[in-house]
Chains A and B, each alone.
Chain A
Amino acid sequence: MDRGEIMSYFRRLADLPKEELLAPGHRLCAGCAASIIARLALKATRGPTIVVNATGCLEVATTIYPYTSWRVPWVHVAFENAAAVASGIEAAFRIMEKKYGVKKPDIIAFGGDGGTFDIGIQALSGALERGHDFVYICYDNEAYMNTGIQRSSATPLGAWTTTSPAGRVIPGKLERKKDLIGIAVAHGVEYAATASPAYPLDLVNKVRKAIEVDGPAVLHIISPCPRGWRFDPSETIEIARLAVETRFFPIYEVEKGEYKINIKVPKPKPVEEYLKRQGRFKHIFLPENKWVLERIKQTIEENWNRLLELAGEK
């Protein structure tokens, strides 16, 4: 597989620091990708960093009082406002650096897809427009997992959730997923990218690149959820890789408006290989739901072609 040119702050896994800024003892489910993403993101930091966390699995399971897994200053305020809280922290440090000589740390905000695509989209839009210097990382498990697998606007077409059930009349979610990176790019952010934990070097280098940007940067990282997607916890990374290899979740970056596909996937695997591994898509293999499968394929093709066009590869 052609990996494109991935900017390398870290060339090998051995280059990643040993220090664990996210401590074990957290209560995320076995096989959860959210903690892999958070752990790797913290390994990519360049110095003192403050983490802001929207309400969600990552927040809840890492800070069950009186325990915390965070070894960096960490703050959770609410569900929809991680970007606004990060704005306040950034603005405060900026002025205090000037007034009192306090050194401004880097700021990373984590939000799930519900906290980012849905309820937090306004706060995120505001923060991006105002140009605060922070990195926003959406770990996207494609539904409200913390409350029990409800549909979000990041849930992909065809997927079962508890509020987009696979019924006899409506076979799962029939709407497409929002284009988060497109939204970020429309704000003129200097750096936006997708990533997958199945490609950890790509992921950490993107996090560092986002941190190095002076201004806001957005990362959209696929976060397979064994519980909500209905697969065995051991398969998290395989699923995260198949999402890329089938072009279901393309890996690309947008630097100053220029799109670049980082993982090219010239010969995609059939999407069925990805879908069949997950219980949330089980119903689309029923004969009467064949049209849903067709629509998924069509969506993938359209998205990929659009991406090729944006990247000037078409």
Chain B
Amino acid sequence: MLKGWKEIPIGGMILEPGNSVNFKTGDWRAMKPVIDKSKCVKCLMCWTLCPEPAIIRHDDNSVDINYDFCKGCGICAKICPRKAITMVPEGGE
């Protein structure tokens, strides 16, 4: 439901920082990155250079993809020094 003028903060202010997490961009994706964890050396290149960010960095520097936001650009797969990330068609095998 869209809000009326009395219900929203004045002047276009957005009071909730980072609330774009409520807008999922994952459905933009045509190709999907898949990590082969056996090859990952935890270099963090993919985490560092993801534009979204849609790479989750764990405490041990291992990583996972956050498919809620990943737009499927494929940067991570291209820059992974161990080729541990491959792009596969969304919805396919």
Is chain B in direct contact with chain A in the complex (CB below 8 A)?
A: yes
Of all chain A residues, which has the CB nearest B59? A18
Instruction: Enumerate the 5 nearest inter-chain pairs by beta-carbon distance, A residue then B residue, closest first.
Output: A234-B74, A25-B20, A23-B18, A31-B73, A24-B69
Partner of B20, one of A23, A200, A235: A23
- A interface residues, how many (CB within 8 angstroms): 43
Binding site for B on A (CB under 8 A): 13-14, 16, 18, 20, 22-36, 39-40, 62-72, 197, 200, 226, 232-238
B28 touches A18 (CB 8 A): no
Contacts of A67 in B (CB 8 A): 14, 19-20, 22-23
Q: What distance in Å separates the Cβ of B1 from its nearest Cβ neighbour in chain A?
A: 12
Give the docked Cα–Cα distance between A238 and B78 (Å).
Answer: 8
Contacts of B8 in A (CB 8 A): 66
Partner of B49, one of A18, A28, A36, A64: A36
B73 touches A30 (CB 8 A): yes
Contacts of B25 in A (CB 8 A): 24-27
Tell whether B17 is near chain A: CB-to-CB under 8 Å: yes
Give the docked Cα–Cα distance between A28 and B69 (Å).
Answer: 12
A71 touches B17 (CB 8 A): yes
A25 touches B53 (CB 8 A): no
B69 touches A25 (CB 8 A): yes
Q: What distance in Å separates the Cβ of B22 from its nearest Cβ neighbour in chain A?
A: 7
Contacts of A24 in B (CB 8 A): 20-21, 25, 52-54, 66, 68-69
